[in-house]
Amino acid sequence: MAADRRGLLLENLGRRLRRVRKQLNYSLGEMAGKLGVSKSGYYKNEKGITFPGVLTLDHLQWAYDISMDWLIFNKGPVFYKEKPPGQPQETLDLSSDLREMLEQMAHDRLLEHEVLAFFYKYKENKHQGNENG
């Protein structure tokens, strides 16, 4: 069971690394160079074979403001902080996030229940706010 969870964690982290790299329009070699690691080492990170090293994670958060909560656990926002006004805010493709969420929901009934419960609560609160406002 623990090996399955580890494999899933590495696979999902690799998917998010790949999404960041593609959003930045870097090739595998360019991204590896920016992070100061070998191309084959970075490739193994993206493929979910190995976990990125501490220096790689530090560089991602320092240079690109990537949240480690998001990158490792898919929790919270992608970026630690907002960019100052006047600087373009890098955003990731929301459609791929939604696609990933739906794929995960198809395999995890608890996740599906939690997402739908949150959504229905949101709709109810929004509807009550419109009635009162």
The tens digit of pLDDT for each residue in 53-71 reads 999 999 998 888 899 999 9
- Residue 21: pLDDT above 80? yes
The tens digit of pLDDT for each residue in 70-129 reads 999 998 888 876 544 455 444 555 566 667 777 777 788 887 888 778 777 878 887 777
- Residues 24-37 have a mean pLDDT of 94
Q: What is the model's pTM?
A: 0.60
- Residue 16: pLDDT above 90? yes
Q: Would you state the structure tokens that stand for residue 30, as one six-digit string?
A: 């360019």
Domain spans, the chain = 1-91, 93-133
**Tell me: domain 1-91, CATH 1.10.260.40, correct?**
yes
